[in-house]
Amino acid sequence: MKKLFLYNFVKCITVLTFCASLIISCNRSAGTEQEEEGASEMPRVSALAAGSIVYVELDSLTENFLMTRDLAAELEEKMGRMETDLNNRQRRFQTSVNDFQNRMNRGLETRTRLAEIQEQLAREEQQLMQLAESYRMEMAEEQMVMQRKIIQAIMDYLKEYNKEKGYKYILGNAFDAKILYADPSLDITAEVLDGMNAKYRAENR
């Protein structure tokens, strides 16, 4: 019984941690000092005529956007609180399981009382598993909200940015995009990233 309790709870913890780590890991590169200062090693493009078709590398844009760094840090902090809460609850639960095992082995409780304790522990285990699943779902929802906020911020910026530039299309190139080839001279990622980060800093001083 002890092994079953421990196995089920560890499984829930593992699922939650894995889900949260996927949410956070892809964004860690956005917090470097170079990005803090707005520097970028991506090549700048020469002036392109109005009506041109240009593109941005979406992966690079989102990963190096300062908003991504800040939202990811908030998400990581929240994930840490959830994991700490689950770990504390698990330790208390495991103490109860150990006490039950000890009392059963020493014959310190009647069979009726042992059955009652076992039933209570089973309920507590179920509650812990439900809490872990609730936290996992909350983290997944937080991730989707974060992604929508970032994409919306990019789209809002590009709308304003293109009022001056007058490009016909601004395409988004990414790993799963349908753009099979794009001339690097049409890549405006660096320019857009600098502008987005400058605007974000100004709005969040």
The residue extents of the domains of the chain are 2-47+66-162
Assign 70 a pLDDT band (cuts: 50, 70, 90).
Answer: very high
Mean pLDDT of the chain: 82
Assign 51 a pLDDT band (cuts: 50, 70, 90).
Answer: confident
> Full-prediction pTM beyond 0.75?
no
Cα–Cα distance, 164 to 78 (Å, whole number): 40
pLDDT at residue number 9: 41
Encode pLDDT of 150-185 as tens digits: 999 999 999 999 999 999 999 999 887 788 888 999
- CB of 51 within 8 A of CB of 167? yes
Q: Name every residue whose Cβ is closer than 8 Å to that of residue 200 and which is 6 or more positions away in sequence.
A: 65, 66, 67, 153
Mean pLDDT of 131-143: 95
Residue 69 pLDDT > 70: yes
